[in-house]
Amino acid sequence: MSFDADFRSFLVDDPGVRELIVTRLYPLTLPQGCLLPAATYQQISGPRDHTMDGPSGLGTLRMQITTFALEKKNAKELANRIRLALDGAYGLFGDGTRIQSIELLDEHDEYDSTSIVHSTIVDFEVVVEEAVRWAREA
């Protein structure tokens, strides 16, 4: 599995998140006609650290999750459940990526008057330790 797939699985497997959106967590955009509440996720940035010998296997990803609902309180509640699931989490993801830490960085609300949908956007910093996939000659 990829980091994105594992990230999504981690969230939809959380009972609090799952109660509100079942599996309606999508990469980048909502499908047309999607039931609400729902959420999208995307990686905003993903620099990886290097040493003199090459990649260190450490990276700092910025993941953004946007919740969508017809009422502001529902968008906020979903964002809060996502925050409770992620903020402070650490350990192994399914693909062997070790999560050193996840920290909430930012949260803000938006409203789209055209679609009459409220959203809450939450950004997280995810510090990962990836398996180095090759050996370098000494």
The per-residue pLDDT for range 88-126, each reduced to its tens digit, is: 999 987 766 789 999 999 999 999 999 999 999 999 999
- Would you tell me how many other CB atoms lie within 10 Å of the CB of residue 36? 19
Q: If we measure between CA atoms, which residue out of 12, 128, 27 comes closest to residue 81?
A: 12
Rounded to 5 degrees, φ, ψ at 61 are -95, 145
- Give, for 99, the enclosing helix (H) or strand (E): strand 98-112
- Whole-model pTM? 0.86
Q: Return the domain boundaries, the chain.
A: 3-129
Fold of 3-129: STM4215-like (3.30.2000)
User: Which neighbouring-strand residues pair with 66?
Assistant: 40, 121
Within the chain, what is the greatest distance between any pair of CA atoms? 60
Please tell me the predicted confidence (pLDDT) of residue 2: 81
List pLDDT tens digits, range 42-98: 999 776 666 677 666 678 999 999 999 999 999 999 999 999 999 999 998 776 678
- Would you tell me how many other CB atoms lie within 10 Å of the CB of residue 46? 13
